[in-house]
Amino acid sequence: MVSLDDARDVLAEAFGHSEFRRGQEAAVQAVLDGRDATVLLPTGGGKSACFQVPAVALFRAGQGLTLVVSPLIALMEDQVSALRERGIPAAALHSSMSWDEQRAVLSGADELALLYVSPERLAVKRFRSFLSRHRLARAAVDDAHCVSEWGHDFRKPYRQLAVLKHELGLPVVALTATATPEVLDDIRTSLDLDDPVHVQGSFLRPNLTLSVELHKGDKARTERAKQLLEGIGEGRAVIYAATRKRVTALAKDLKTRSRRVAHYHAGRTDGARAKAQADFESGKARVIVATTAFGMGIDQPDVRLVLHVQSPGTLEAYAQQAGRAGRDGQPARCVLLYSAGDKRTHERIRGSRPTPGQVQGWKALADYIYATDCRESRLAAHFGEQAPPCGRCDACASGDQVVDQVQAARKAVREKRTETRERRQEEDAVSLTAEQEQLVLDFVEALKKPLGVTTVAKGLRGSRAKAVTRKGVARNPHHGALKAIPERSLVREISRMLSEGKLAKRGRKYPTVWIPEKRVRPVRTTPRVRRASSDPPLVAALKRFRTREARRLRWKPYQVFTNETMGLIADGRPSSLVELESVKGMGPKRIRRFGEGILGVLAET
């Protein structure tokens, strides 16, 4: 039997701490007792120790490894690296590893205290069969809010994690830094936890000062960001924006001779992201501008400012990101700069079918932004914790100013809505004359290929946006011919011309505009000369397979698999689905859709 004293020894020897933080001891005790548990600790509350410490204690007692389900490769690698530096045997399995690297981890599984995997890996039956042949002590689901936030949509394996209990028979601890009571209930149900112990830390951070400022547009927010950075001294600042474009632009604007600014988002290369993170962690760049792709697992103690120059998508996300400030216990600021345009930005990001959690999370954030009562009390209440006014936030310290700011912002929103409504009424009254309709037809006639209705409308208005000019629209002789007509009116009128048969639709997945009876591709007058392929037979066969599948699904060929993945398949010649899954770029979805076909090509070539 492993005791809490054994866990304290591990905490001191391996992690260098003399005592547990608030909430950690109860969570560790539940894991040692073999109980299912849910653990809600705020960012900076030390939730990783709640499963890592007992995992090491159980491993030392000969009870086997602890399986950790984690959402991101970067997070897995960060935690495994930190554990190994402490002398703790830990490893991860993920799709970015080579086949040989994965095989080495699997062959040494019995020597590991912790093994990190993705939910997609756990969804593979062969992998679960492998696990069942080894001694397992416990299972941990880190960042368990992903079960509710991602499992309903694009990461369905998160809704299948009950196999940890049903097939592997493991006690499960689910940990998160951001979950409402409703999300916690969803986690318990989805994981099928048996009478779980619930451990919840406090969301009150006496060293943090929360504030919200309402600004009009990005230019004003950029200038305010420059002012706020002057107050961080020798500390660090993390600045969050909602889009990659805004991250890149803001990082450029904030750089000075004396201030180096890194930037991080998922659209940058692996090397660029790694360098940005390394520069920030080393202090080479003391300011980093990032999307929410940055931050999971980051533990820098001296972050003096967490600044949002655009609002995040939910109040839960804001709590998690703001919690990265002041982990050393010294005073720090969490400032949210909000503009009315943020609402439209997040409507676009969420798409046409947002999840209930996204809708509720945004509403809670909007209530927080426009609140005139204590910020900290409101934030804590969202996670089920009651707290008196903090006395530090802007609403507590400058209540009258906050009330005036909120009233002014609400008035501006009302005026903007009235202005938009009146403008749309004017646009709805616009109709094209016969001469203007002919200009539309002339514009479409001059196109080299069909384009979407909105792109045609933008071209007729003379737009030089990148999305328009890269399609050659600016070279159209009628570019800008109807610049006086509002875009919304043009889109409506072009749609009318389509319904009347004056224009014709082309394409299925993405309908485009063309001239009726006109061929999209001109008749070829000379025979096509086929070039002899210089590809090896197997690569040529895989290319043919990829082309067939792309045509069948109406995809781009790279969406089936990339050239890099194709080369790795040709070099490794995997003979089973398990081996094929270890190839970089071949995740569970591609295995299910194309795996048998690829193996068939390999067998025949």
DSSP conformation letters of 119-153 = HHHHT-HHHHHHHHTS-EEEEEETTTHHHHHTTTT
Residue 45's pLDDT is what?
Answer: 79
What average pLDDT does range 279-306 have in this prediction?
83
SS3 content of the chain, % helix, strand, coil (to 5): 50, 10, 40
**Alpha carbon 504 to its chain's center:** 39
What average pLDDT does range 23-33 have in this prediction?
95
| Cα pseudo-dihedral 398, 400, 401, 403, rounded to 10 | 120
What average pLDDT does range 344-352 have in this prediction?
85
Residue 467's pLDDT is what?
Answer: 83
pLDDT in tens, 137-193: 999 999 898 888 765 555 788 888 999 999 999 999 999 988 888 889 999 999 999
User: Among the residues of 16-153, which ranges form H helices?
Assistant: 24-32, 49-60, 73-85, 99-107, 119-122, 125-132, 145-149
Residue 152's pLDDT is what?
Answer: 55
Question: 8 pLDDT exceeds 60?
Answer: yes
User: Among the residues of 370-511, which ranges form H helices?
Assistant: 375-382, 394-397, 399-428, 434-445, 453-460, 466-469, 487-499
Domains of the chain, earliest start first: 4-200 (3.40.50.300), 208-412 (3.40.50.300), 434-514 (1.10.10.10), 537-604 (1.10.150.80)
Closest to 135 (Cα-Cα) out of 70, 184, 65: 65
User: Quick one: CA dihedral 115, 120, 123, 126, positive or negative?
Assistant: negative
pLDDT in tens, 431-482: 999 999 999 999 999 999 999 999 999 999 999 998 888 889 999 999 999 9
pLDDT in tens, 37-72: 999 998 877 899 999 999 999 999 999 999 999 988
| 3-class state of residue 159 by DSSP | helix
How would residue 602 be classed by pLDDT, with cut points 50, 70 and 90?
A: confident
What percentage of the chain carries pLDDT values higher than 70?
96
With contact defined as beta carbons under 8 Å apart, do 537 and 556 qualify? no
Beta-strand relationship, 512-514 and 504-506: antiparallel
Cα(51)–Cα(31) distance, rounded to whole angstroms?
Answer: 7
What average pLDDT does range 119-128 have in this prediction?
91
Provide Rg for the chain, Cα atoms: 28
pTM (two decimals): 0.71
Cα(359)–Cα(377) distance, rounded to whole angstroms?
Answer: 22
Please tell me what DSSP assigns to residue 518.
-
The tokens for 79 are: 């935690």
Cα(122)–Cα(100) distance, rounded to whole angstroms?
Answer: 19
